[in-house]
Amino acid sequence: SAFNRLKTAYSNLQHRLNSSTNLTEDDDQWLEKVEEHRKAFEEAMDDDFNTANAISVLFDLAKHANYYLQKDHTADHVITAFIEMFDRIVSVLGFSLGEQELLDQEIEDLIEKRNEARRNRDFALSDQIRDQLKSMNIILEDTAQGTRWKRGE
């Protein structure tokens, strides 16, 4: 999917970050590309929060990041500039390219499995599911009306 292409570009930048050199000869051109994307994104936001344009800027940024990563030699500060621009854009748009968060439905499904285990008095499985959810920063609260959950801070 298109979203997966963004995540892959972002992930590739992060993996390449610590195996790069300090300086390469065309760093300034690449940093200028990142700056062009910053300006284009800000213009999209200034244009009555034009998310369609903002998202196209994000995909264009991913395309240029991929071109950059195809080079034999990359520089950490250029990769960092790409990553920071990705982070800035996606945070304004309200999503993340890092590890994908659990979808609410997946959480609900796990809670239902846990409740079923509790009804069947399979407390080992129930505790295992609770611990799994806890490790994913999901906080459960068992009430008389059923299990409520929320994401931890």
Task: Please write the tens of the pLDDT for every residue from 59-97.
Answer: 999 999 999 999 888 888 999 999 999 999 988 887 777
Low-confidence ranges of the chain (pLDDT < 50): none
Please give the helix or strand (H or E) that residue 146 lies within, else none. strand 146-151
Closest CA to 11 of 91, 60, 82, 101: 82
Per-residue confidence (pLDDT) for residue 100, from 0 to 100: 53
Q: Which pTM does this prediction carry?
A: 0.61
- Distance in Å from the first CA to the final CA of the chain: 29
At residue 119, the 3 state secondary structure works out as helix
Please give the helix or strand (H or E) that residue 138 lies within, else none. strand 138-143
- Counting beta carbons within 10 angstroms of the beta carbon of residue 66, is it exposed (0 to 12), middle (13 to 18) or buried (19 or more)? middle
Dihedral sign, Cα of residue 128, residue 132, residue 134, residue 139 = negative
91 φ, ψ to 5°? -70, -40
Per-residue confidence (pLDDT) for residue 80, from 0 to 100: 93
Per-residue confidence (pLDDT) for residue 39, from 0 to 100: 95
Q: What is the CA radius of gyration of the chain?
A: 21
Number of Cβ atoms within 10 Å of the Cβ of 119: 9
Per-residue confidence (pLDDT) for residue 137, from 0 to 100: 81
Query: What does the alpha-carbon distance between residue 63 and residue 37 come to, in Å, rounded to a whole number?
Result: 11
